[in-house]
Amino acid sequence: MAMNENDSFIREVNEELRSEQMKSIWKRFAPFIVGIAVLIVVGVAGTSLYEWWQVSQSSASGDRYLSALKNSDENRKDEATKELEALTKDGFGAYPVLARMRLATLKAEKGDVAAAVSDFSAIGKDQSVPLAVRNASRLRAGWLLVDTGTYEQVAVEVEELAVPSASVRHSAREVLGLSAWKAGDYAKARDWFQLIVDDTEAPTGAAQRARTMLALITASGKLANG
């Protein structure tokens, strides 16, 4: 019985000691612990606030971009141009570069193809722009040049995109093939279209168009190399 009382007494003493230790530790480190807790709360709140701000800014830029597109579609080109030019300066996220691309398209629609090609080419060289957008801009410049430029000008814009490792190689080869065909270089056109047909990863539409062009080239009887 005495032994049990002693054990109980010892446990109570140990618990009291642990309690006193925790009180001592809390007194020593309370400011530090509270500070960390405050930083965590502020950090979480700050992150949430920043995310909300990003969504808000992106939504606002998106609304402005859609307004510009609507004005463009409804033939209010001047209003659309002003809205898009403003977006290139103070838009959020991807909207500044989308606005630049749309402005270039408007120039092409107005007949200023040279300016449109220049703008698309500039976007294609801008390293701050995502690669996919740069490639799309270079292809757009190439397509415009098929009708207005030389094969060499088209090649400057898109030939680098026609390599086997490029994800947009099929489109680039199609642009180059059409440009060569338009220039009367049927052998070169045939080579580009054949690359599309031989590529097992070529989209069905691109492969079908390439086969059609190969058939036209063959039927023309104008192949330099027979």
Helices assigned H by DSSP within the chain: 2-73, 77-90, 95-109, 113-125, 131-148, 151-158, 169-182, 186-198, 204-220
The residue ranges of DSSP E strands in the chain, in sequence order, are none
Report the pLDDT value the prediction gives residue 40, as an integer from 0 to 100.
54
- Answer whether 0.85 is exceeded by the pTM: no
Query: Tens digits of per-residue pLDDT, 67-105?
Result: 777 777 777 878 888 888 888 888 877 788 888 989 999
* Whether the predicted pLDDT of 122 surpasses 80: yes
HEC string of 120-142?
A: HHHHHHCCCCCHHHHHHHHHHHH
Judge contact between 177 and 189, C-beta under 8 A: yes
Whole-number average pLDDT of the chain: 80
Report the pLDDT value the prediction gives residue 151, as an integer from 0 to 100.
96
221 or 165, higher pLDDT: 165
pLDDT band at 42 (very low <50, low <70, confident <90, very high): low
8 or 201, higher pLDDT: 201
Average pLDDT of span 37-41: 54
* Most confidently predicted of 1-15, 76-90, 140-154, 211-225: 140-154
Report the pLDDT value the prediction gives residue 113, as an integer from 0 to 100.
94
Average pLDDT of span 1-27: 51
129 or 22, higher pLDDT: 129
* Whether the predicted pLDDT of 17 surpasses 50: no
Report the pLDDT value the prediction gives residue 50, as an integer from 0 to 100.
46
Residue 58: burial class (beta carbons within 10 Å; 0-12, 13-18, 19+): middle
